[in-house]
């Protein structure tokens, strides 16, 4: 069975600085997708960034970028120029190609200090 592990229950960063959230996963599949979702307090979860496993190039979305290491099964999220609005729970998630079930990690609570 596929599993996703986020080893940092909480992280904090000063506003305008850079923070990296870690994620590792376990799968025997070769075709899959990885995601980072953001869940603000009392608000719905939104997709921050996605990475296709077959792509070697790391995905980037504005201030958000990933470091995808397929052999190591590692998928970290880097947030540059942190803003107060980035404060939220962040979940790493995996889905096998052709499947419908997202598998989530335990989450990392990110606090932004002004």
Of residues 29 and 81, the one with the C-beta less far from another protein: 29
Rounded to whole angstroms, the Cα distance separating 80 from 66 reads 11
Per-residue contact track with another protein, 70 to 99, x per CB under 8 A? Answer: ---------------------x-x-x-xx-
DSSP 30: S
Of residues 35 and 112, the one with the C-beta less far from another protein: 35
Stretch that binds another protein, among 2-10, 11-19, 67-75, 77-85 (CB under 8 A): 2-10
Rounded to whole angstroms, the Cα distance separating 19 from 34 reads 19
Angle, vertex CA 105, rays to CA 90 and CA 54, nearest 5:
95
Q: Which residues pair with 95 in a beta bridge?
A: 33
Site residues, another protein (CB under 8 A) = 4, 6, 9, 31, 33, 37, 42-47, 50, 52, 91, 93, 95, 97-98, 100-107
């Amino acid at each position: 069975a596929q599993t996703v592990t986020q080893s940092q229950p909480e992280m904090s960063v000063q506003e305008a600085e850079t923070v990296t959230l870690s994620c590792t996963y376990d799968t025997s599949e070769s075709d899959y997708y990885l995601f980072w979702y953001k869940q603000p307090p009392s608000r719905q979860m939104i997709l921050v960034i996605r990475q296709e496993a077959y792509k070697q190039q790391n995905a980037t979305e504005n201030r958000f970028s990933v470091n995808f290491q397929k052999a190591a099964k590692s998928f970290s999220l880097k947030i540059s120029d942190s803003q107060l609005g980035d404060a939220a729970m962040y979940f790493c998630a995996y889905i096998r190609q052709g499947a419908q079930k997202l598998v989530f990690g335990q989450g990392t609570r990110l606090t932004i200090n002004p």
